């Protein structure tokens, strides 16, 4: 029973959410599998420099042959029983193939490095996505709490208005208006709860755990700590982004790999030279009525033969296939270079945008705090005047709505700054990836 309860409810901090998402994220698993595949491709490229080795063997324990043999006065049918065996060991070593093996090895090494950086960026994307969703859930929980508190205020005010109506201090109109205001506050609670539930499902989607699991988020004290200053050095951040962005590094190594693939595609224009060496033996043991062969084991040991061959092959004309492959490789190299340049420009633009939104979010907190203080003071003053009959319902309703909006804006400003800080870290490539034993990716 305890196990079922544990599965139905999980208490998670932001760090816990990131840890769960990293272990379950499909994108990270795919990137890790691709990295392993690239590692196997590198091993295959190294194997191209080693000699090929093959062994073939055959053994026939019984073969019956029937054939006519000269006889007197007519030919007679004779039966011959045969036992045979053969063994061949072949090896070949490529001496020259237009540097195709070397170019393929360099391309594989560069692609493996690109796959490693792609995996790192995939992990960063998981951390960033989960962090943003976590903050959105926390914000919606705060807004739901504010809406519920606003509903309690409206209900308390409705209770007070009912009492004042009963003793003749308030009119029926004031009572109806207060009832409508309380109903509107209840509607705001329903909408806030719907938004919170929707964001919670989005968090479950990113954690990739049982949708029936009830998640209780445990905030940590440091997750909403505000930075000391909103001033950002764009040039410094740009330098950090160009140095730390793993997707940019991955694209750079893909460009290097495409360059080596272009060299590899030119290899068929050059001759190919292979050195071959063969060792073979065989024997046939006949069971013939007129003559006999040595035993099969003796034949195998006495008929061992060797051969060494130097083979040269050169495709003089292949229907322009090599030319097409070279042009295709050149186009791929050019496309990779264009993608790399586009990514660098996009990083610069994204950084400018993220820095501007971060600065704006920083300034919004100060404005929201001032607005909340003023709205709270105004509401308390008008509430006292309303209770004494010196202020009308419209003034009270407006003041409470202003206070509700001010509290909501204050909460949104606080979490918006945390989200913008996360966006800025993701844009500059400074997202911290927790140590994952499965992937072996170190924490940066």
pLDDT in tens, 87-121: 999 999 999 999 999 999 999 999 999 999 999 99
Contact in structure between 408 and 375 (CB atoms under 8 Å) = no
Task: Please give the tally of structural domains in the chain.
Answer: 2
Contact 416, 144 (CB under 8 A): no
| One domain for residues 164 and 266 | yes
Write out the two tokens for 316: 């003089």
pLDDT, average across residues 303-312: 92
- Residue 442: which of 123, 208, 41 has the closest Cα? 123
Q: Do residue 256 and residue 216 come from a single domain?
A: yes
User: Average pLDDT in the 196-202 region?
Assistant: 94
Question: In the chain, what are the helix, strand and coil shares in percent, each to the nearest 5?
Answer: 65, 15, 20
397 vs 178: CA distance, rounded Å: 8
Mean pLDDT of 312-316: 92
User: 60 and 7, same structural domain?
Assistant: no
Q: CA dist 289 to 78, 80, 323, Å? A: 9, 8, 65
Residue 61 lies in a domain: yes
CA distances from 161 to 155, 174, 179, 401 (A): 10, 7, 9, 18
Judge whether 434 lies within some domain.
no
Would you say residue 436 lies in a domain? no
Q: Mean of the pLDDT values across residues 38-63?
A: 92
- Rounded to whole angstroms, how far apart are CA atoms 417 and 359? 9
Percent of the chain clearing pLDDT 70 (strictly above): 92
How many Cβ atoms sit within 10 Å of the Cβ of residue 246? Answer: 22
132 and 251 share one domain: yes
In-domain check, residue 443: no
Of 289, 313, 337, the domain-final residue: 313
**DSSP run (H or E) holding 284:** strand 272-287
Confidence of residue 228 (pLDDT cuts 50, 70, 90): low
Whether residues 210 and 245 share a domain: the answer is yes
Are residues 91 and 107 both part of a single domain? no
Are 267 and 103 within 8 A, CB to CB? Answer: yes
- In terms of Cα–Cα distance, which of 431, 421, 434, 432 is closest to 135? 421
Q: In this structure, what CATH number is given to the domain that contains residue 136? A: 1.20.1600.10
pTM of the model: 0.84
Could you tell me if 205 and 161 lie in one domain?
yes
Locate 403 and state its tokens. Answer: 């206070």
Widest pairwise Cα distance in the chain = 149
In a domain, 438, yes or no: no
Residue 203, SS3?
Answer: helix
Q: In terms of domains, do 114 and 71 share one?
A: no
Residue 172 structure tokens: 């029926």
Domain range enclosing 281: 55-95+274-313
Cβ–Cβ < 8 Å for 315, 117: no
Whether 265 and 400 share a structural domain: yes
pLDDT at 263 over 80: yes
- What is the C-alpha to C-alpha distance for residues 215 and 138, in angstroms, rounded to an integer? 12
**Surface-to-core class of residue 299, CB atoms within 10 Å of its CB (0-12 exposed, 13-18 middle, 19+ buried):** middle
pLDDT tens digits, residue range 115-166? Answer: 999 999 999 999 999 999 999 999 999 999 999 988 888 888 778 778 777 7
Question: For the residues 10-28, what does the mean pLDDT come to?
Answer: 93
254-268, 402-416, 424-438: least confidently modelled range: 424-438
Give the model's confidence band at 169: pLDDT under 50 very low, under 70 low, under 90 confident, else very high: low
Same domain, yes or no: 243 and 358? yes
> What 3-state class would DSSP assign to 7?
helix
How far apart CA 146 and CA 368 sit, in angstroms, is 15
Do 42 and 123 lie in one domain? The reply is: yes
Report the pLDDT value the prediction gives residue 396, as an integer from 0 to 100. Answer: 76
Decide which of 202 and 182 is more confident. 202
Of 285, 313, 341, at which residue does a domain stop?
313
Say if residue 130 is in the same domain as residue 36. yes
Q: What is the pLDDT of residues 350-383, one digit of tens each?
A: 999 999 999 998 889 889 999 989 988 888 888 8
In a domain, 440, yes or no: no
Question: Does 441 fall in a domain?
Answer: no
Q: How far apart are the first and last CA of the chain?
A: 41
Q: Listing from the earlier edge strand, what are the strands of the sheet with 76-96?
A: 52-69, 76-96, 272-287, 305-313
200 within a domain of the structure (yes/no): yes
Last residue of a domain, one of 284, 313, 342: 313
Percent of the chain, pLDDT > 90? 59
Cis peptide before 193 (omega within 30 of 0): no
- β-pairing, 9-12 vs 76-96, is unpaired
């Amino acid at each position: 029973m305890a196990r079922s309860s544990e599965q139905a409810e999980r208490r998670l901090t932001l760090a816990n959410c990131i840890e769960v998402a990293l272990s379950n994220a499909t994108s990270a698993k795919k990137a890790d599998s691709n990295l392993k595949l690239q590692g196997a491709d590198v091993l295959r490229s190294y194997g191209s420099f080693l000699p090929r080795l093959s062994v073939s063997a055959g053994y026939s324990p019984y073969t019956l042959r029937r054939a006519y043999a000269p006889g007197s006065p007519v030919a007679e049918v004779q039966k011959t029983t045969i036992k045979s065996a053969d063994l061949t060991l072949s090896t070949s070593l490529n001496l020259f193939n237009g540097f195709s093996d070397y170019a393929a090895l360099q391309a594989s090494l560069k692609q493996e490095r690109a796959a490693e950086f792609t995996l790192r960026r995939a992990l960063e994307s998981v951390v960033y996505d989960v962090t943003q969703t976590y903050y959105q859930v926390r914000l919606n929980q705060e807004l739901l709490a504010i809406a519920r508190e606003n509903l309690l205020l409206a209900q308390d005010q409705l209770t007070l208005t009912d009492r004042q109506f009963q003793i003749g201090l308030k009119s029926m109109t004031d009572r109806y208006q207060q009832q409508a205001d309380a109903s509107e506050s209840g509607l705001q609670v329903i909408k806030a709860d719907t938004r919170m539930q929707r964001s919670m499902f989005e968090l479950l989607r990113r954690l990739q755990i049982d949708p029936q699991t009830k998640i209780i988020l445990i905030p940590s004290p440091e997750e909403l700590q505000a930075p000391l200053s909103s001033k950002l050095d764009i040039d410094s951040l740009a330098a950090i982004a160009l140095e730390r962005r793993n997707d940019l590094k991955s694209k750079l190594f893909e460009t290097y790999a495409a360059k080596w693939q272009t060299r590899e595609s030119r290899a068929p224009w050059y001759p190919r030279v292979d050195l071959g060496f063969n060792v073979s033996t065989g024997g046939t043991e006949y069971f013939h009525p007129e003559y006999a062969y040595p035993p099969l084991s003796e034949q195998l040991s006495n008929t061992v033969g060797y051969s060494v061959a130097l083979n040269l092959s050169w495709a003089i004309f292949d229907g322009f296939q090599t030319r097409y492959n070279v042009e295709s490789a050149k186009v791929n190299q050019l496309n990779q270079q264009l993608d790399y340049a586009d990514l660098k420009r996009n990083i610069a633009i994204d950084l400018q945008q993220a820095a501007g939104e971060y600065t704006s979010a920083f300034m919004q907190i100060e404005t929201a705090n001032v607005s909340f203080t003023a709205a709270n003071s105004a509401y308390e003053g008008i509430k006292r005047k309303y209770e004494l009959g010196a202020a009308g319902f419209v003034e009270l309703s407006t003041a409470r709505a202003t206070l509700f909006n001010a509290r909501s804006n204050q909460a949104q400003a606080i979490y918006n700054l945390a989200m913008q800080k996360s966006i800025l870290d993701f844009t500059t490539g400074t997202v911290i990836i927790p140590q994952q034993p499965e992937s072996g990716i170190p924490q940066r």
